[in-house]
Amino acid sequence: MIEKERITIAEAKEMLGKLEKEDVGEFQRRTLDYTVKFSKISADKAEKLRKELIKKFHLDEGSSIQVVNCLPKTVEELRTVLAVKGKVMVTGQLEEILKEVNQYRGK
């Protein structure tokens, strides 16, 4: 291992997609299949949204990645994602985060 970095599912999909098919092992193939099935936005959008969540709403990196991966549609879904990380937010803050998420959501 050279470097360790947290990334979104969309970013992992982009990275794995650049690898030559004959150079990847079974683990990488399965991971790519997973990312294809579960990534909801492009890697560029995922990175921008993650940075916006950190900057505007002061979410930690892990929480912002989870929000990007899940792209919650309701306050309740968002509250569940953030509660796992121990972050408690009022409904108004959650609604503002959802507005930001909705700007990046694929149509």
Q: What is the CATH number of the domain that holds 62?
A: 1.10.150
Residues 34 and 82 in one domain: no
The pLDDT of residue 89 is 80
Pick from 52, 13, 47: nearest CA to 29:
13
Residues 85 and 67 in one domain: yes
Q: Name the pLDDT band for 23 (thresholds 50, 70, 90).
A: confident
Rounded to two decimals, the pTM is 0.87
**Does residue 86 come out as left (phi exceeding 0), alpha (psi in the -120 to 50 range) or beta?**
left
Kindly tell me if the per-residue pLDDT of 40 is higher than 60.
yes
| Cα 99 to Cα 72: distance, rounded to the nearest angstrom | 11
Residues 70 and 27 in one domain: no
Residues 52 and 30 in one domain: no
Residues 97 and 52 in one domain: yes
Q: How many domains does the chain have?
A: 2
Average pLDDT over residues 35-48: 95
> Which residues span the domain enclosing 72?
43-104
Element (DSSP H or E) covering residue 79:
helix 75-84
* Residue-wise pLDDT tens digits, 82-101: 886 566 788 999 999 999 99
Average pLDDT over residues 36-49: 95
Residues 62 and 28 in one domain: no
Residues 61 and 91 in one domain: yes
Residues 50 and 67 in one domain: yes
Average pLDDT over residues 21-36: 88
* Residue-wise pLDDT tens digits, 46-60: 999 999 999 999 999
